[in-house]
Amino acid sequence: MEERFKILAFAGSLRKGSYNKALVRAAVELAPENVAIEVFDLEGIPPFNQDLENQPTEKVVDFKAKIMRADALLIATPEYNYSVPGVLKNAIDWASRPRADTPLEGKPVAIMSASTGRFGGARAQYHLRQSFVFLNMHPINRPEVMLPLARDNIDENGNLTNEQTRQLIRQLIEALVKWAKQLKEETK
Ligand SMILES: Cc1cc2nc3c(=O)[nH]c(=O)nc-3n(C[C@H](O)[C@H](O)[C@H](O)COP(=O)(O)O)c2cc1C
């Protein structure tokens, strides 16, 4: 039997009722049979301190190991002040160090975002892509999953009710799997 494709997913929000966590839950629900999505909670990752980059906490070690084992990443980012929340940037900074030992190198990645505003977190997504350039990660371009007006599209139980976005998330996962397999073939 073919092994399931492994995706590590996380949201850049610690908020209990986070709309971005809701996107991650929707992705788990919508993933095809041959895809296993593991969800990682960024709660507990300390503020990055370069003095300690060679002595990361257990939480950081676990985060990096899970990134390493995953075939691809799926990140749901909120937009804070037109950019990526500090919590997400901080987690990426930890995973990026030490430079010689980063599991982010060459990693295929897909982005989603939900915001209560009208632009669905677009600006945060493009800032995140900028970090991926330095990290030599491989983000996919399409489809773009940006959910605006999240309060109207995620119900009080945290379920994504917007059918078009559900469809896009399905497509995003399928595209990510295809992209990651293509990259793997090329580097064989
Ligand atoms: C500090 C802060 C800054 C924010 N800045 C933006 C922003 O620039 N653009 C936007 O669309 N929403 C902004 N918002 C609203 C977020 O979209 C909203 O809080 C959203 O629910 C956060 O994601 P979460 O539900 O996953 O925690 C901001 C919220 C906070 C707390």
- Tens-digit pLDDT profile for residues 53-67: 999 999 999 999 999
pLDDT band, very low/low/confident/very high, at 2 (cuts 50, 70, 90): confident
Q: How far is CA 19 from CA 47, 142, 180, in A?
A: 23, 21, 26
Pocket of ligand 1 (CB under 6 A): 13, 15, 18-20, 78-82, 114-117, 119, 150
Percentage, residues of the chain above pLDDT 90: 97
What's the CA gap between 172 and 110, in Å, rounded?
7
109, 167, 112, 36 alpha-carbon torsion, rounded to 10° = -50
pTM: 0.98
CA 78 – ligand 1 centroid, Å: 6
For the segment 154-175, the average pLDDT, to the nearest whole number, is: 98
For the chain, the average pLDDT equals 97
The pLDDT value given to residue 187? 83
Distance (angstroms) between ligand 1 centre and the Cα of 80 equals 5
